[in-house]
Structure 1
């Protein structure tokens, strides 16, 4: 297929071709995550690669590579980083496939998939150690809980909490933060949900892990089972 248009995309395309050692026969834009990152699947004659374009948040490349190394050291299947340019936010990655757990659960039994995911999570948590990842501390937990009234209630629902409702929410949020801080602390993916797990063998492929932190032991389990 022809190279993409636009100065940035042309440079990105040329960079990817250089590091892949060939020009792709197909350039496919794939759904991304909730951040500002864009993803493309590059099809070659005998293989595929995933190209991450994080031009809006180039600082995510180094955390991605760091957490990928931690996960891989624990025996977790993650995309290999084949090339990256931190200043521009570009990464060329191994392609672990297109079938997510979210897709697979529509036709397959949940038990073996969820068990494999939990085994993977336990393996990574067992290797947890302090001082390696950012801390999921009180300030960060409080800020993220504030997204509920600020974004969901106000912007999504178009509603405003009454003073009484706001007080109820503040009390509940305080209780949730205290409960989270009281738990044992482990490595936390933060988005360990079925859309970020890929069907691979022997265990799931894990993606979108660059925002990992050290935090409450139940966080990822709840994300997997409830999100």
Structure 2
């Protein structure tokens, strides 16, 4: 892959694009004659990772290595120009740095390439115009080959949309494989979303993958189609600026950084409006087939297989984490049977569009708007057709914020009042029980999923929310009483753990 960089600014923007693709264990081997821009690219890459345009980046020419503990990953910046023997790399501790971060190596030809066989090779040469440079990128492994293809597709969409020269700002993503960054240009901002098609997954006993079983979106088509359907019904979603559906890329209107929560606390009036929005959404008629840009997306049904597959994450990941007690086949069979009994009546209740993750991270607060337009919806690509109580449960038992029992009751009663007013038939007692059951199912899934994110994917930050979620589980059982499923949760229900949110 070759890229022409017309000036220093273009080199710095390319470095930011490259930084967005880095993973722990990567090596960037940066070569080129003196004055070709190696230091410019290195400095820009480090400053982007640090989210600090003024970060001091001294040359490691004399120290040989300069290390940076940055928020997203650690980086070791090597300059091998002065080493006399390649074996000196062992003394510099390259292997140790790669265990937890990234290595950026200038003058790699002075070392030994066998130390970084899967590196991305970057060679800078002078261009035909003053200050221009040409960079040649060579992938030495499949991972970098795939990432360079995405880099090329990303930059092609930016160029086509007229945003290639915009400043880049990293945006913290979610637990999915999607990544985001914000673009700034002439006082305007938009958001770049990279939603790659799902890769291969292990098969479950059913012969399907987890994603197939629980109806996770496989590509960006679902996001585009559901977003259009929501907009057509008058709900506020980010407008599309440009889309490359084949590669799962989109430039979107920037809805900002403010959500309906502040400092991990629920803002009552914002949550009230979110409840009002659900009441409106549940009053709309939703077609299961959604058309957009010449493609059709079929909304799948939220059935028992979906809910029990999610709930089994608790047995697979959370119980082994929280208890030394092995999960036997009998325990698993009893668990599934108890859930089937509990969920059967819920799945017969009113069916509507189910957004699935209707909670604070995905409901943006647009203070300058009016009415329900103050709420901007994101992350709805996994929507299904299912029980109306599901999204109410997702909001009222928001895993990201401490919700008092009083606030939960206030929000639930607000929804019930609206439903009673606008629906011909509404059974409040039945609905409240469905909310408690689906809240238990959802928080059960989250317990397992968050432990899995730590154990399997090295994302420990989600475990910080486990105490809150356990409290929600206790609250659900307080509402449901002595159901058969209760015995499967004794590790939580017999705990002495307390939090302010217990009140």
Classify the TM-score, shorter chain.
Answer: 0.7 to 0.9
Deviation at 1:102, TM superposition (A): 3.0
Deviation at 1:158, TM superposition (A): 6.4
Mapped to 2, the partners of 1:184 and 1:102 lie a distance apart of 29
Which has the higher relative contact order, 1 or 2, with Cα contacts under 8 A spaced 6 or more apart? Answer: 1
1:67 to 219, 226, 230: 226
Deviation at 1:51, TM superposition (A): 0.8
Q: 1:188, 1:213 within 8 Å by CA — same for their partners in 2?
A: yes
Mapped to 2, the partners of 1:150 and 1:102 lie a distance apart of 31
- Aligned CA distance change for structure 1 residues 119 and 105 (closer, same or farther; 3 Å): farther
Deviation at 1:113, TM superposition (A): 0.5
1:125 to 274, 282, 304: 282
Of residues 19-28 and 74-83 in structure 1, the stretch that sits farther from structure 2 once superposed is: 19-28
1:215 to 386, 394, 397: 386
When the two structures are superposed, what TM-score results if normalisation uses the length of structure 1? 0.87
Deviation at 1:88, TM superposition (A): 1.1
Provide, for residues 171-201 of structure 1, a one-character-per-residue CA deviation record: whole Å limited to 9, x for no partner.
3321233133121101000000111111112
What is the match of residue 270 of structure 2? 113
What is the match of residue 356 of structure 2? 190
Provide, for residues 34-55 of structure 1, a one-character-per-residue CA deviation record: whole Å limited to 9, x for no partner.
2211111112222111111122
Deviation at 1:24, TM superposition (A): 4.5
Mapped to 2, the partners of 1:158 and 1:95 lie a distance apart of 44
Pairing 1:63-212 to 2, within 5 Å after superposition = 63-103=222-262, 106=265, 110-132=267-289, 133-154=299-320, 156-157=321-322, 159=324, 160-162=326-328, 165-200=331-366, 201-202=369-370, 203-212=374-383
- Aligned CA distance change for structure 1 residues 189 and 15 (closer, same or farther; 3 Å): same
Deviation at 1:19, TM superposition (A): 3.9
Q: 1:23, 1:44 within 8 Å by CA — same for their partners in 2?
A: no
Q: 2:226, 2:381 within 8 Å by CA — same for their partners in 1?
A: yes
1:51 to 181, 192, 202: 192
Q: 2:196, 2:219 within 8 Å by CA — same for their partners in 1?
A: no
Mapped to 2, the partners of 1:82 and 1:147 lie a distance apart of 37
Structure 2: which 5+ residue stretches go unaligned?
Answer: 1-11, 19-146, 199-216, 290-298, 399-503
Q: 1:75, 1:123 within 8 Å by CA — same for their partners in 2?
A: no
Q: How many residues align?
A: 224
Mapped to 2, the partners of 1:89 and 1:10 lie a distance apart of 12
- Whichever of the two has the greater Rg, that structure is 2
Q: 1:142, 1:177 within 8 Å by CA — same for their partners in 2?
A: no
Deviation at 1:165, TM superposition (A): 4.2
2:178 to 28, 33, 37: 37
Mapped to 1, the partners of 2:263 and 2:340 lie a distance apart of 37
Deviation at 1:117, TM superposition (A): 0.6
Mapped to 2, the partners of 1:70 and 1:163 lie a distance apart of 43
Mapped to 1, the partners of 2:194 and 2:162 lie a distance apart of 19
When the two structures are superposed, what TM-score results if normalisation uses the length of structure 2? 0.41
Deviation at 1:13, TM superposition (A): 4.2
Structure 1: which 5+ residue stretches go unaligned?
Answer: none
Mapped to 1, the partners of 2:343 and 2:285 lie a distance apart of 21
Provide, for residues 39-75 of structure 1, a one-character-per-residue CA deviation record: whole Å limited to 9, x for no partner.
1111222211111112243942110011001111221
